[in-house]
Amino acid sequence: MADEMASNQSSSSIKFGTDGWRAIIGDQFTFDNVARVAQAYAQYLLEQQGKKVVVGYDTRFMAGKFAQRAASVLAANGLEVHLSKSYVPTPVLSFAVKHLQADGGVMITASHNPAEYLGFKIKGNYAGSATPALLAEVEKHLGAEPKYSSANIQSFDVRKPYYDFLASQLDLEALRAYEGVMYHDSLGGAGAGWLAGFVKHAGLKLDLRELHAVPDPMFYGVHPEPIPQNQFTIMTVLKAEQDPTFATINDGDADRIGAVLAGGRNFNSHQIFAVLLKHLHSKGLRGRVVKTFSTSQIVDKLAQKLGLELVVTPVGFKYITDEMLKGGVLIGGEESGGIGVAGHIPERDGLLNALLLLESVVRTGKSLGQQFTEIETEVGFKHAYDRIDLQLPSMDHIQAAMARVQTPQTIAGQQISGTEHLDGTKWLFGEVGWVLFRASGTEPVLRIYCEAPDDKTVKAVLAEAKKLVGA
């Protein structure tokens, strides 16, 4: 009875967020809890008549061992299990679901979270992030006692077919003629070596220069999220470079992308989204544009200019996946740098997106910065953006902070013209300005986002917003 109560208590502490379950290693993220989540997923798969599942992992501490535990539980339930031979990026694990014709997948990763975290991402049989409906079904089984066995687990390596797939999505003739420079910073995560491998595989003359290409469970002392505060090294290196040279940066599992321009200037996720949208459209591709609630208004304006339907979802790529599964999506993306494109699996892919950015430079003959400036001119407004992440002591503190912003007020001299509550609380001001207050779905963090026509306004709004929530 005591063991059963302990099991139920452990299961009740497992909560799925915006992209699966994440927790601190050795605290809630334990071998026992990983086994419980694997058992719940196994029962879901069996209910769906599933037979085969793939399992991968990133470069975090003990990630491979946790993946083996998950694989052993899945195998004990009679499933045919394929475990990656080494660390893999999340988009490669998702690709493996499709390539191996599996019924689902597990990726042991905490994505962009700090190094002390690990996580359990679930992939559907469509080779993309688990939808809210799928996760809800898995959660129903979290109280089940795990099964264990030493059943045979097969290994897999899909590097070559994945590279062949990337090549099919790109203008290789143009890329092979390009002899410029591009940098890649994997931050020591699962993307380490993967772009360099593709350059060699595809026979490109590109001078690809890697930073932090050796996997590091501590991500070289930074959070593995491709945002400015974690890009000091690559920004310093790029200060001496000239256009059109740029750098791409991936998060811990390489499904997200960031960029830095020559001169060491950050090129944020909204700008990347806009350039990719314009680039895909220039290649003759069409479809709906899907963005999350925290993504720039410039995407709205550009979609309208291009005559494309826009869909706005809550934060979390699983909502974009829902839209992609309906079909007809050209591009779907989020403020955090996760972007999926037409012709691919319904998944974020920081590696493919890096190559598409390069392709846009090669085909236009213009740097990323020049391309975005043209977009600003086209849509008729300037874009400035920033975000602050406030680490608060508990969820109670986050709830109290969110309660303070339910009633809008003048902020940094900006009159609030309206509010939106699709995910968090957003205050609107000016023609395109907004500030969004939102609790993270994966850690005890309150995020405050702001977009305005200039950096001065963004900084002023964020400073007052921080005071307003009591931080």
Question: Structural domain boundaries of the chain?
Answer: 2-157, 161-379, 384-468
Which residues on adjacent β-strands are paired with residue 16?
none
CATH T-level assignment (fold) for domain 384-468:
TATA-Binding Protein (3.30.310)
Q: Which ranges of 100-157 does DSSP label H, i.e. alpha helix? A: 132-139
CA distance 277 to 273: 6
26-39 burial: b if 16+ Cβ within 10 Å, else e: eebbbeebbbbbbb
CA distance 220 to 97: 31
Just give the CATH number of 161-379: 3.40.120.10
Q: Which two tokens stand for residue 84?
A: 């990656």
CA distance 388 to 91: 27
The amino acid at 55: V
CA distance 213 to 190: 9
Taking a C-beta distance cutoff of 8 angstroms, is the pair 259, 357 a contact? yes
Strand ranges for 71-171 from DSSP E: 80-84, 105-108, 117-123, 154-156
In sequence order, what are the residues at sequence separation of 6 or more whose Cβ sits closer than 8 angstroms to the Cβ of residue 48?
103, 125
2-157 matches 384-468 in fold: no
CA distance 148 to 431: 59
Q: Which ranges of 266-408 does DSSP label H, i.e. alpha helix? A: 269-282, 297-305, 317-326, 350-364, 368-379, 395-404
Taking a C-beta distance cutoff of 8 angstroms, is the pair 206, 178 a contact? yes
pLDDT tens across the length of the chain (471 residues): 444 444 444 556 798 876 789 999 999 999 999 999 999 999 999 999 999 999 999 999 999 999 999 999 999 999 999 999 999 999 999 999 999 999 999 999 999 999 999 999 999 999 999 988 999 999 999 999 999 987 889 999 999 999 999 999 999 999 999 999 999 999 999 999 999 999 999 999 999 999 999 999 999 999 999 999 999 999 999 999 999 999 999 999 999 999 999 999 999 999 999 999 999 999 999 999 999 999 999 999 999 999 999 999 999 898 999 999 999 999 999 999 999 999 989 999 999 999 999 999 999 999 999 999 999 999 999 999 999 999 988 888 898 999 999 999 899 999 999 999 999 999 999 989 999 999 986 677 899 999 999 999 999 999 999 999 986
Q: Which two tokens stand for residue 247?
A: 């750098």
CATH ID of 2-157, from 3.40.140.10, 1.10.10.10, 3.40.120.10, 1.20.140.10: 3.40.120.10
SS3 assignment, position 418: strand
Q: What confidence score (pLDDT) does residue 287 get? A: 98
Q: Distance between the two ends of the chain, CA-based, in angstroms?
A: 44
Q: Which two tokens stand for residue 255?
A: 């499904």
Taking a C-beta distance cutoff of 8 angstroms, is the pair 450, 462 a contact? yes
What's the predicted TM-score (pTM) here?
0.94
CA distance 423 to 437: 9
